Structure 1
């Protein structure tokens, strides 16, 4: 692949990534040394094929496919092929293809995801570089559309295609990491200046995507932080007049693996609610906002200890306000998340399922109950509440594994629809069935009457803050008061009556 040559001289590193928590198998992933481990995990989610992964090799597949497409009519003769520029933008984590283009699914809508925070430099937002990136992405999508148009319609060449190809959408152009971009510019997400700058950037992207088409251009508002966007958009659109190009749809991305590959702090137009990363360090957007206020992390900590607020918190309503403000600047926006409801039963009645975040926290517990190994994994919502549970008896029969897996999925669906964890704990704690016995691998429990007993008592302590003591142990010689068979209840000398005897 010729596009692999574009990565020559880039320092890479290789790490092992676990793709399935139920399996100890790992996968080798090679990516730039400056990228974090989460990007490697995202690459394994995007690329479903087995075997070792190299970012340069996987990127070369779609880059070479675009390079093989001939230029559009009216393109200057000295225009270079887009392959090298696309590879550089991916390396700088400013642009990446969506999954349809990454996996080369010609029957799905291809597109690019653009990380807005990647275009903020020391002197502010770089609109010229941003416009050049958008023009390159639009030209690449239109080249691909002209070449694979018949395949994308799902029709054979024997059938008639639409009369005017310029009315078909050639692809998607999605923006992401808006809040981190505003933070790097010194703007608050929940402010008029922040919303105005976001609308100006979104309208500029839509103007570039519609240049040379019959669609109207959105108005770009005046913005103090971005004073020259109107003139820049007019200049870029003037070069495309009269070409009758296919339109490119614009919008903001929804949470997905491509955003994780780009290293965004908040997908699409969503705000960054937490100033901390998952590892407890300050986010880059937090450091940028502190720097624009003339604060260092140490001085911000001192203010926080003194009872002052160094950074204003983002209101939950700010997301909806930004969503409404950008409605007419792009073609579509992702749906707003369902607001939290105080009454969980009302949430159940409405049938609203709360989605889990793409990057999930939780804990993993490996233990043994009565000598039988058990693997338990939890996933949490953004607020730290339990959202998913997986209970796998690793060395049991396929039927036992399947039943426990189905039970974990059923409980997870109930939690995501708002069912209280207390109800599941009350129902499954202290259940008695084999295997049962001594608990190994968890100092918080010594004995469990079943695997479910151990699992849900552990969840009670971890997420409800309620420690539940061990169930009383049953001696092997003691009588089980429950009948072995649903018949033979006659009274006798024995408290259980007569027993069934096998006679050879």
Structure 2
């Protein structure tokens, strides 16, 4: 593979990653030393073979495939093959192919993903470099489409092919890591300037992808990036006389390609938490602090003083960005459900709410089916539930330990913002022993389990929603008749019962 030579001189390192926890098998992954450890897992996931993975070898497969395609009509003969540039952009984690192109799947749509934050430099957004990468991605997809169109369709009468190849989409170009790009430019995600900048960048990408096609370019709005309009007009004028097939544009969804590029957030989604998974500050957080003239130390001092160094992102900001980008690109990922947006924001923010030193709540002693139960609650300053303890004192040590661990898990979830309604919906009316009549609590007469009683009590105390008792199932109740006709109530004694009565035990 000739494209492997493009990686000559790049310092590499090898990691052992686990791809399938069930099989407990490790794979050897060789990747550039400058890349994070998380990219090794993504590289193993996007590679189909089960053996060792070398980035140079795997990338050479699709790079050589594109280099082998003939150039587009009208391309100057002195234009070099795109393989070297594609390899360099992947090495710098600026652009990477999707899974269909990486795995050379002819039945899927090939495409590239561009990391927007990598085009922000000290002088601002590198518009010319961004446009050059977009052109390279579009030309590579069109070359591949022209060479493999017959192979992908088979030219069979079962397929309704367009009358002209120019009417087909050659591939897909996606943008990602928008929030980190806006942060590096000094813009808050939930602001009009950020939305206009995102709209302008998406419109510029669509303009480049539609240059030389029958599709009209979208208008580019006014934004803090002043040169986008001028660059877009020059791109459209340069390709006006050429006839290309269109390339679709959009924003990416979570997948191995985004992890391969090392993005903070996929597509146009915001980063609700200022911290990474390892507890360190995100690069976008450091950029936003620097734009405000703050260091991590000064931001910590403000936080300890009770001030907010960075305003949190509203859950509605994601939907507002979606509305600003709608119609500018061909593909947009869906926005989370509105009723779950606030919950996801609080959980993703990773902030644990602490209980006050002096806590209020109640202690309830009851018995379910003759088995004692002690339940204690603790509340936040606003009266909402923050901690729960469920103790069955006379049960086995294993049962007491499991109930104690369950109470601690529910308490941690409540302190991180999980709604009590979710726990009530999950644990109310669960059926397991002990179950039966409830003693010591006049509001509940019957419970199907200890957890059923506990969480229906919490629903009435903290949600104001009393829940009725479940239908009783007596322990002595007979099971329904089997499907075989042995126990039919016909008034006659079955023959097999008579035979049982005549049996005698002999020694």
Q: Same fold (TM over 0.5)?
A: yes
Partner of 1:11: 11
Secondary structure of 2:112's match?
strand
Q: What does residue range 302-451 of structure 1 map to in structure 2 within 5 Å?
A: 302-341=301-340, 420=423, 423=426, 427=430
Residues 106-161 of structure 1, C-alpha deviations (whole Å, 9 max, x = no match): 12111101110010111211001100000000000000000011123354499884
In 2, are the aligned partners of 1:142 and 1:171 still within 8 Å (CA)?
yes
How far 1:332 sits from its partner (Å)? Answer: 2.1
Does residue 205 of the first structure (1) align with residue 210 of the second (2)? Answer: no
Residues 362-400 of structure 1, C-alpha deviations (whole Å, 9 max, x = no match): xxxxxxx9xxxxxxxxxx9xx979xxxxxxxxxxxxxxx
Residues 232-282 of structure 1, C-alpha deviations (whole Å, 9 max, x = no match): 111122221121100000110111111111111111010011000000000
Does residue 246 of the first structure (1) align with residue 249 of the second (2)? Answer: no
In 2, are the aligned partners of 1:107 and 1:151 still within 8 Å (CA)?
no
Change (3 A) 1:341 1:33: closer
Partner of 1:277: 276
CA–CA distance in structure 1, aligned partners of residues 27 and 267 of structure 2: 29
CA–CA distance in structure 1, aligned partners of residues 340 and 275 of structure 2: 25
Partner of 2:262: 263
CA–CA distance in structure 2, aligned partners of residues 287 and 25 of structure 1: 38
Partner of 2:62: 62
Partner of 1:406: none
Change (3 A) 1:265 1:164: same
Residue range with higher mean Cα deviation, 18-27 or 182-191: 18-27
Q: What does residue range 11-410 of structure 1 map to in structure 2 within 5 Å?
A: 11-156=11-156, 161-224=161-224, 226-341=225-340
In 1, are the aligned partners of 2:316 and 2:341 still within 8 Å (CA)?
no
In 2, are the aligned partners of 1:116 and 1:177 still within 8 Å (CA)?
yes
Partner of 1:408: none
How far 1:22 sits from its partner (Å)? Answer: 2.4
Partner of 1:439: none
Secondary structure of 2:20's match?
coil
Secondary structure of 2:273's match?
coil
In 1, are the aligned partners of 2:203 and 2:220 still within 8 Å (CA)?
yes
Change (3 A) 1:233 1:342: closer
CA–CA distance in structure 2, aligned partners of residues 255 and 10 of structure 1: 28
Change (3 A) 1:160 1:86: same
CA–CA distance in structure 1, aligned partners of residues 236 and 222 of structure 2: 18
Change (3 A) 1:239 1:315: same
Secondary structure of 1:246's match?
coil
Change (3 A) 1:341 1:314: closer
In 1, are the aligned partners of 2:153 and 2:159 still within 8 Å (CA)?
no
Change (3 A) 1:102 1:503: farther
Secondary structure of 1:49's match?
coil
In 2, are the aligned partners of 1:150 and 1:157 still within 8 Å (CA)?
no
Secondary structure of 2:279's match?
coil
Change (3 A) 1:165 1:429: same
Q: 5+ unaligned residues in a row in structure 1: which ranges?
A: 345-353, 361-368, 370-379, 386-414, 432-452, 461-480, 487-500
Change (3 A) 1:502 1:110: farther
How far 1:38 sits from its partner (Å)? Answer: 1.1
Change (3 A) 1:148 1:422: same
Residues 288-320 of structure 1, C-alpha deviations (whole Å, 9 max, x = no match): 000111100000000011111111110000000
Change (3 A) 1:384 1:178: farther
In 1, are the aligned partners of 2:17 and 2:40 still within 8 Å (CA)?
yes
Change (3 A) 1:248 1:25: same
Q: Between Structure 1 and Structure 2, whose CA radius of gyration is higher? A: 2
The Cα RMSD (Å) is 3.7
Give aligned pairs, total.
386
CA–CA distance in structure 2, aligned partners of residues 502 and 201 of structure 1: 92
What's the TM-score, normalizing by structure 2? 0.69
In 1, are the aligned partners of 2:39 and 2:262 still within 8 Å (CA)?
yes
Change (3 A) 1:299 1:157: same
Change (3 A) 1:3 1:342: closer
Secondary structure of 2:207's match?
helix
In 2, are the aligned partners of 1:69 and 1:143 still within 8 Å (CA)?
yes
Change (3 A) 1:277 1:162: same
How far 1:21 sits from its partner (Å)? Answer: 1.9
In 2, are the aligned partners of 1:150 and 1:156 still within 8 Å (CA)?
no
Partner of 2:357: none
Change (3 A) 1:91 1:231: same
